[in-house]
Amino acid sequence: MTQKHPAHKAAPTDHVSMGTRIGWGFGGLADNYIMNILNMIFLVLYVQYFKMPPVLAGLALALPRFVD
């Protein structure tokens, strides 16, 4: 069991196309937009509907990000 295996060389087909990269980037952009829109909706809800001070509303939304 002492056989040495040569290092793996990537085949030319292992290349990721530019279209795939751009599509992957747009998917990540959509994920970020969804999370930011939800945070903005909750911020407006906390401040206007629940009459929470804006500083506390910002802390309520930022705290889980710091803990995570």
Model confidence pLDDT, tens digit, residues 8-65 = 676 666 788 999 999 999 999 998 999 899 999 999 999 999 999 999 999 999 998 8
What pLDDT, on a 0 to 100 scale, did the predictor assign at position 16?
A: 87
Would you say residue 2 lies in a domain? Answer: no
Q: For residue 7, what pLDDT band results from cuts at 50, 70 and 90?
A: confident
pLDDT at site 6: 66
Number of domains in the chain: 1
3-state secondary structure of 3: coil
Residue 38 lies in a domain: yes
- Residue 44 resides in a domain: yes
Q: What is the pLDDT of residue 11?
A: 66
- Contact criterion met (CB below 8 Å) for 57 and 43: yes
Q: Which domain holds residue 33?
A: 26-67
Asked whether residue 7 is assigned to any structural domain, the reply reads no
Question: Taking the CA atoms of the chain, what radius of gyration do you get in angstroms?
Answer: 23
